[in-house]
């Protein structure tokens, strides 16, 4: 029997069909409006910043795709594509895990290029991995791993809490020869975490759009 190969075009259609049958899910801490406003002000400083291209053309703004202010969040656990049935299980488990913990604070200190020590891919607001946040994430991951569906596997890398402000357009970034010191700056902020959200992301050509599937309050 001869093997039948599918084209990349057919594979792309099949992949999109499968993705459309499922939800792209993650668990996050959404931000207070005050911090979103400060981060929007940071973005606005760069919207009309002049920069020269290798051809001598002068462009405005950084070669990045900014996260829209309403969408700013801190991802606790990224899960990926799941069925509606699995999504309901995630919501249940997340609500139960959140109810075991009292509200706590996250401190943010600095806007940097991330990931640290690598070629820039994002502009981050770094957060501190406090004991409360670390224990909360571990409890949440353990609960997800124990789910019957087996849809989640814990990440094997250190947790670096951060808020993604922008994603770098790599080729244009290198051409622009941007000074790192112009991007990075201190920004002190403290956020009280009184709940977390199960979120869905819908990937669009101009960036992801997010929706809250389930709000999960912490112990009151």
Give mean pLDDT, residues 82-105: 95
Of the candidates 210, 99, 96, 94, the one whose C-alpha atom is nearest the C-alpha of residue 152 is: 94
pLDDT the model gives residue 74: 98
**β-strands 64-66, 162-168: how paired?**
antiparallel
CATH architecture of the domain covering 25-217: Alpha-Beta Complex (3.90)
* pTM score of the predicted model: 0.83
Give mean pLDDT, residues 184-212: 92
Q: Does 171 score more than 70 pLDDT? A: yes
Reported residue count of the chain is: 220
Interval 3-31: pLDDT, tens: 555 565 565 665 565 555 689 999 999 99
Of the candidates 126, 130, 136, 69, the one whose C-alpha atom is nearest the C-alpha of residue 102 is: 136
Who's near 1: CB < 8 A, 6+ residues apart? none
The mean predicted confidence, pLDDT, of the chain is: 87
- Where do the domains of the chain lie? 25-217
How far is the C-alpha of 185 from the C-alpha of 194, rounded, in Å? 28
pLDDT the model gives residue 1: 47
Interval 34-54: pLDDT, tens: 999 999 999 998 887 766 666
Q: How many CA atoms lie within 13 A of 128 on its CB side?
A: 14
Give mean pLDDT, residues 53-59: 65
pLDDT band at 78 (very low <50, low <70, confident <90, very high): very high
Cβ atoms within 10 Å of 203's Cβ, excluding its own: 9
Is omega for the bond preceding 115 within 30 degrees of 0, making it cis?
Answer: yes
Q: Which phi-psi region, left, alpha or beta, contains residue 55 (left: φ > 0; alpha: ψ -120 to 50)? A: alpha
Q: Are the C-beta atoms of residues 106 and 41 closer than 8 Å to each other?
A: no
- Per the model's pLDDT, the better-predicted residue between 83 and 207 turns out to be 83
Interval 59-70: pLDDT, tens: 678 889 999 999
């Amino acid at each position: 029997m001869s093997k039948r190969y599918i084209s990349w075009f057919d594979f792309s259609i099949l992949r999109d069909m499968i993705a459309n049958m499922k939800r792209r899910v993650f668990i996050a801490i959404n931000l207070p409006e005050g911090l979103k406003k400060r981060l929007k002000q940071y973005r606005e400083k760069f919207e009309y910043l002049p920069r020269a291209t290798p051809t001598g053309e002068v462009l405005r703004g950084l070669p990045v795709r900014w996260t829209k202010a309403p969408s700013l969040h801190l991802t606790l656990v990224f899960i990926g594509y799941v069925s509606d049935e699995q999504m309901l299980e995630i919501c249940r488990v997340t609500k139960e895990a959140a109810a075991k913990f009292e509200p706590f604070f996250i401190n943010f200190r600095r806007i940097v290029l991330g990931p640290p020590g690598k070629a820039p891919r994002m502009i981050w607001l770094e957060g501190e991995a406090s004991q409360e946040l670390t224990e909360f994430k571990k409890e949440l991951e353990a609960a997800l791993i124990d789910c019957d569906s087996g849809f989640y596997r814990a990440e094997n890398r250190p947790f670096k809490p951060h808020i993604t402000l922008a994603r770098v357009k790599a080729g244009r970034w290198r051409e622009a020869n941007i000074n790192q010191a112009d991007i990075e700056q201190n920004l002190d902020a403290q956020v009280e975490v009184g709940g977390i959200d199960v979120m869905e992301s819908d990937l669009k050509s101009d960036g992801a759009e997010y929706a809250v599937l389930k709000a999960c309050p912490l112990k009151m």
